[in-house]
Amino acid sequence: MGLTLRRVEKNKPQCDHLRDRIVKKYGAEGLHIAQFVQNGLFGKYIANILDKGLTIDQITLEIEQLFKNIEITNSYIQSDSNVAKEAAKITARIQSHNPSTYIISGSKSATVKCRQVKDTVMRKITGYKEELYRTEIKEIYFLNRVDK
C-alpha cells in the first residue's frame, strides 16, 4: 500500500481516498507504516540493518519490531517543528524504550531542522551512533544502538 501511495501521491483525491481506506482497515498505525514505505524510508532502513551483519532471524526481528513500534521509533520533522520539543520527545523515547534503531527524517526545507534535532538528541544520549542517508530533498538519520 505504501508503494501505491507513492505512485498516486501527485493525484491528491486518489491519494486521500487510499489513505482513508488504509485508516479504516488498519488504523492510524497502518497509515504510518504505509507512509514510511511511501516516503522511501523502508528501503533505507533495510540497507541500514543489512550493514549491521545480522542473521536472517535477527533481520526479521528488527523489521517486526520496527513495524510494531513505528510510533515510538520514528520521527518525521516538519519545517515548523520546534527543535527543542522534538529533541526532548525523541530523547525520552530512546531512553524509555532503548530501540536498536531510531529514525529521524525530514525533507525539503525541514532538513535543516531535522539535522538540528538529531544533533541535539545525540548530545543528550549515549550508546548510539548515527548514520545518514541523504538525497536531493531528504535527510534520514538512523540512530543505531551500539551493542557492546
Give residue-wise pLDDT tens across range 107-137. Answer: 899 999 999 999 999 999 999 999 999 888 8
Q: What b-and-e string marks burial along 48-81, b requiring 16 or more CB atoms within 10 Å of the CB? A: bbeeeeeeeeeeeebeeebeeebebbbbbbeeeb
Strand partners, 104: 75, 141
Please give the sequence-ordered ranges of beta strands (E in DSSP) within 17-137, or none if there are none.
74-77, 101-107, 128-134
Instruction: Give the per-residue pLDDT at 32.
Output: 84
Q: Give pLDDT, residue 15.
A: 85
**Per-residue confidence of the chain (148 residues) as pLDDT tens digits?**
778 887 887 888 888 899 899 999 998 888 888 888 888 888 888 988 888 888 999 999 989 988 888 889 999 999 999 999 999 999 999 999 999 999 999 989 999 999 999 999 999 999 999 999 988 888 999 999 997 5
pLDDT of residue 30: 87
Q: How many Cβ atoms sit within 10 Å of the Cβ of residue 83?
A: 17
Annotation: CATH topology of 39-145: Translation Initiation Factor IF3 (3.30.110)
Domain locations in the chain as residue ranges: 39-145
Q: What are the residues facing 133 on neighbouring strands?
A: 140
Q: What is the pTM of this model?
A: 0.83
Q: What is the DSSP string of 32-55?
A: HHHHHHHTTHHHHHHHHHHTTT--
Say if residue 45 is exposed, middle or buried (CB neighbours under 10 Å; 0-12, 13-18, 19+).
buried
- Other beta carbons within 10 Å of 97: 11
Question: Distance (Å, rounded) from C-alpha 29 to C-alpha 17?
Answer: 17
Query: What is the rounded CA–CA span in Å between residue 38 and residue 27?
Result: 17
